[in-house]
Structure 1
Amino acid sequence: MSKPLLAIVGRPNVGKSTLFNKIVGKRISISHNTPGVTRDRIYADASWCGYHFTVIDTGGIEYKSEDAMWKHIRMQAETAIEIADCIIFVVDGKGGLLPDDYQIAEMLRQSHKPVVLAVNKLDNPFDTAYEFYELGLGDPFVLSAEHNIGLGDILEEATHHLRKVEEEEEDPSIRIAVVGKPNAGKSSLVNRILGTKRTIVSEVAGTTRDAIDSPFFHNGQKYTLIDTAGIRRKRSVEEDVEYYSVLRAFGAIKRADVVFIVVDAEEGLTEQDVRIAGKVHEEGKASIVVMNKWDKIEKDTHTVEK
């Protein structure tokens, strides 16, 4: 039996990824003070007081932006709301209520799902959150995800809405990491294999930030595809977010059984492709080189050999 789903939603930079990491007990999502770091849905299993469930981290929901990336992020969050059994709605206790909070609250009411309202960034357990009753989602819970204040109360309330399931045995899936340079087509490949828009695809390099696990079955065998951020040369990595994204990609290689190394056929094999393949070889992983965008190049019977 599949585990119940607990989704975490809210506008950008309210502390969703920090809360996600605290609940699952690992630093899975990249937590950073830059808005829009989390983009795709990120799943991880968690347990609390005999309850076993899967937590979904989501990107910040922003309504005023017409930017295509923010629209994609919002769609991913809306999908999480649609499939979740319970939702933790995170708001910023220091920044107060903003128009997006009211719009998200209305969307959650229309979902008819149980909602736990978490007022984050209140470091004193005696802080009050009366203002947030305006959202009409019941009693707000005071939270400091960073300092573990109020986490137990929120999980106790959330698990009241989740069914109890037996803890599963160790995951029997074959893990496949999909790695390569930015814009090689990794997310497009993952979505094609899964047959759904699991991860955001864009021509903008660096769209994927986290390592995103997606389980699926083929011929009775369970697999887990791990989409990763594009790996650039070390000296080209300038931002903190990209640095942590690359670390997640290397971590995906370590925990994979097989690695798909995606190469942009239009650009041809580059030194960075060879470096990535070398990293996979160093980890002792079986690998398959995927020449993507093959339809876009002129070729003859000897092109593959080249």
Structure 2
Amino acid sequence: MRNLVAIVGRPNVGKSALFNRLTQSRQAIVTDVSGTTRDRLYGKVNWSGQDFSLVDTGGWVVNSDDIMEDEINKQVQIAVEEADVILFVVDVMNGLTDLDNGVAHLLRRSGKPVVVVANKADNFGIGHQSAEFYTLGLGDPFPISAINGSGTGDLLDHVLSLFKKEGEEEKLEDIPKFAVVGRPNAGKSSIVNALVGEERNIVTEIAGTTR
């Protein structure tokens, strides 16, 4: 099976921008609105001749009564469980927060390799501020900019070094892609979940749940 890397972090740290940067696509919607990303979004990355899968997740929150945020957290937990390596994205501009510490606690319990990605280090001076994230106890933070791409090469080199070497990876064959379309609340996400055999999409009675 192809190695899977999950992007995890609190809301608005630039997870979707990093997903788009690494997959060289515009698959993920990028806004300043918390909760824009809800379902797990998968893409493909090729670096130094090696392919791996990447999954974007919504922002992890705690102590929320919002049913949507609770469902997003469930999607994050699924991604953490299925990942081989986790990219823990933090915001070097805003610094370390209590919510970052909460995410770090979740990831430590996973037992998976975790890479702290100090995003929004758009210039060299700001990058030095990433040292604050050493206190998370998850190793050296990688200062990067999802916007201009700086630091992402070193990050990808490190990710490849964390993959387990178990012989030649299987070649991913080209497979058909299908779109499920319809009006709001027609049951599209339920159909997708049934077809893939897992909770890939959040299902609620709220129109506009899937983005």
TM-score, normalised to structure 1, is 0.65
Question: For 1:118, what is the secondary structure of its paired residue?
Answer: strand
Question: For 1:21, what is the secondary structure of its paired residue?
Answer: helix
| Residue correspondence of structure 1 range 150-165 to structure 2 within 5 A | 150-163=151-164, 165=168
Distance 1:167 1:52 in 2: 10
Per chain length, whose mean CA-contact separation is higher, i.e. which structure has more relative contact order (CA < 8 Å, sep 6+)? Answer: 2
Does the CA contact (< 8 Å) of 1:125 and 1:149 recur in 2?
A: no
| Residue correspondence of structure 1 range 1-306 to structure 2 within 5 A | 2-126=1-125, 127-128=127-128, 129-163=130-164, 165-166=168-169, 168=171, 170-171=173-174, 173-209=175-211
Q: CA deviation at 1:163?
A: 3.9
Cα distance change of structure 1 residues 48 and 41 upon mapping to structure 2, 3 Å threshold: same
Gaps of at least 5 residues in structure 1 are: 210-306
Instruction: Report runs of 4+ in structure 1 exceeding 6 Å deviation.
Output: none
Distance 2:20 2:195 in 1: 28
Is the strand fraction higher in 1 or 2?
A: 1
Cα distance change of structure 1 residues 83 and 169 upon mapping to structure 2, 3 Å threshold: closer
Cα distance change of structure 1 residues 145 and 15 upon mapping to structure 2, 3 Å threshold: same
Distance 2:177 2:105 in 1: 39
TM-score, normalised to structure 2, is 0.93
Distance 1:175 1:132 in 2: 40
Deviations 1:168-208 (A, max 9, x none): 3641x232211011111101122223332221001111100
Distance 1:65 1:139 in 2: 31
Q: CA deviation at 1:97?
A: 1.2
Question: For 1:154, what is the secondary structure of its paired residue?
Answer: helix
Identity between Structure 1 and Structure 2 (%): 50
Question: For 2:189, what is the secondary structure of its paired residue?
Answer: helix
- The one-letter code sitting in structure 2 at the alignment partner of 1:46 is V
Distance 2:6 2:197 in 1: 22
- The one-letter code sitting in structure 2 at the alignment partner of 1:150 is G
Counting matched residue pairs gives 207
Distance 2:153 2:140 in 1: 15
Distance 2:194 2:82 in 1: 21
Does the CA contact (< 8 Å) of 1:6 and 1:88 recur in 2?
A: yes
Gaps of at least 5 residues in structure 2 are: none
- The one-letter code sitting in structure 1 at the alignment partner of 2:171 is E
Deviations 1:42-71 (A, max 9, x none): 111111012210001000001132211001
Distance 1:170 1:138 in 2: 36
- The one-letter code sitting in structure 2 at the alignment partner of 1:188 is S
Does the CA contact (< 8 Å) of 1:86 and 1:113 recur in 2?
A: yes
- The one-letter code sitting in structure 2 at the alignment partner of 1:181 is R
